[in-house]
């Protein structure tokens, strides 16, 4: 697809509304096209500006103005119903009729609904920014998961490039994340450590360990501060007990991902074969 076609898809791409094949194509194009990347960044800036915009001040006489406008058609028939408000000012105002009350209630309801929709939109935008689970992040993880089974090295390089990753020894990660990663204590029997890196992901700065099983297949472990397991968009998920930990299990078609709390941090295992393997990892992390 050319830039014009891609830019037609950037809005639904940002909102996470594209099917997986189109989403991967747009993600690939944006990574190599500065012009389209700039347009996509504009959607993010617009969302941030809207969410950060202060609520407009409401003048004290707003309700009087609304009443005046809503009651204008009744001015002629209501001229006989006046009340002297002050003897000194001799001010005269129309009584509030039943029709006026009805129109005022409708106007108040409309203002409430409008205000509520704006507030909900702003809260969604704020949660996306704070949680780091915006559409772009989910799209990035989706592309990573699609590449990982066939080309693990390419998938790992993709994340390193995307999130300013640094390949480090497990002990070196301490100075970058402020804690000793569990993989620094070794791995369970049957796994070897292929690489350790530190990534500046939207949710937090995390440690990623690429592990190899005896048959050469790949398991990736992320240690991170984020408590939510919302990295995987709308993929099917469920809660289950793995060992003595409650885990969020996500279906990755040919494998699963699992997230659980480990002390003050969370662990996400990507590429686990089944729930039994997740349980063995949970038990190993507990001993570590």
Strands 205-213 and 218-224: antiparallel
Cut 0.85: pTM above it: no
d(C-alpha 42, C-alpha 40), whole Å: 5
Q: Which two tokens stand for residue 218?
A: 């790949």
pLDDT of the residue at 131 = 47
What are the φ/ψ torsions at residue 100 (nearest 5 degrees)? -65, -45
d(C-alpha 109, C-alpha 145), whole Å: 46
Q: Where are the domains of the chain?
A: 3-53, 62-130, 164-287
pLDDT of the residue at 132 = 44
For residues 78 and 95, is the Cβ–Cβ distance under 8 A? yes
d(C-alpha 247, C-alpha 225), whole Å: 16
Class for the domain spanning 164-287: alpha beta
Q: State how far the alpha carbon of 183 is from the alpha carbons of 13, 88, 125, 155, 242, in Å.
A: 35, 84, 35, 20, 19
pLDDT in tens, 105-148: 777 777 776 666 555 555 554 444 444 457 788 889 999 999 99
pLDDT of the residue at 285 = 85
d(C-alpha 36, C-alpha 193), whole Å: 37
Given a cut of 70, the residues of the chain with pLDDT beneath it are: 44-103, 113-133, 228-229, 288
Q: Which two tokens stand for residue 270?
A: 């990507």
**Residue 90 Ramachandran class (φ > 0 left, ψ -120 to 50 alpha, else beta):** left
Looking up tokens 């939109």 gives: 121
Residue from 25, 229, 222, 252 nearest 145 by CA: 252
Q: Which two tokens stand for residue 285?
A: 């992390």
For 68, the 3-state DSSP assignment is: helix
Helix, strand, coil percentages for the chain (3-state, nearest 5): 50, 20, 30
pLDDT of the residue at 247 = 93
What sections of 163-238 are H helices per DSSP?
Answer: 174-177
For 288, the 3-state DSSP assignment is: coil
């Amino acid at each position: 697809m050319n830039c014009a076609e891609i830019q037609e898809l950037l809005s639904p791409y940002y909102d996470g509304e594209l099917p997986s094949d189109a989403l991967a194509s747009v993600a690939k194009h944006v990574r190599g096209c500065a012009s389209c990347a700039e347009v996509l960044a504009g959607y993010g800036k617009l969302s941030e500006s809207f969410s950060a915009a202060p609520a407009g001040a409401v003048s004290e006489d707003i309700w009087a103005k609304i009443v005046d406008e809503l009651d204008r058609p009744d001015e002629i028939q209501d001229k006989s119903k006046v009340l002297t408000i002050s003897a000194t000012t001799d001010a005269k105002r129309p009584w509030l009729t039943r029709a006026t009350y009805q129109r005022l209630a409708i106007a108040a309801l409309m203002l409430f609904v409008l205000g509520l929709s704006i507030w909900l939109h702003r809260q969604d935008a704020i949660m996306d920014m704070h949680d780091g689970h915006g559409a772009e992040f989910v799209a990035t993880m989706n592309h990573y998961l699609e590449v990982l089974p066939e080309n693990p090295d390419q998938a790992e390089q993709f994340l390193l490039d995307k999130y300013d990753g640094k390949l480090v020894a497990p002990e070196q990660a301490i100075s970058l994340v402020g804690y000793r990663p569990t993989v620094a204590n070794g791995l369970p029997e049957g796994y070897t450590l292929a690489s350790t890196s530190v990534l500046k992901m939207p949710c937090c700065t995390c440690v990623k360990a690429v592990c190899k099983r005896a048959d050469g297949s790949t398991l990736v472990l992320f240690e991170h501060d984020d408590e939510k397991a919302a990295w995987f968009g709308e993929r099917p998920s469920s809660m289950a007990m793995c060992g003595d930990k409650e885990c969020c299990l996500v279906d990755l078609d040919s494998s699963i991902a699992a997230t659980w709390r480990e002390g003050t941090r969370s662990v996400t295992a990507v590429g686990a074969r089944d729930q039994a393997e997740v349980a063995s990892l949970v038990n190993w992390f507990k001993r570590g």
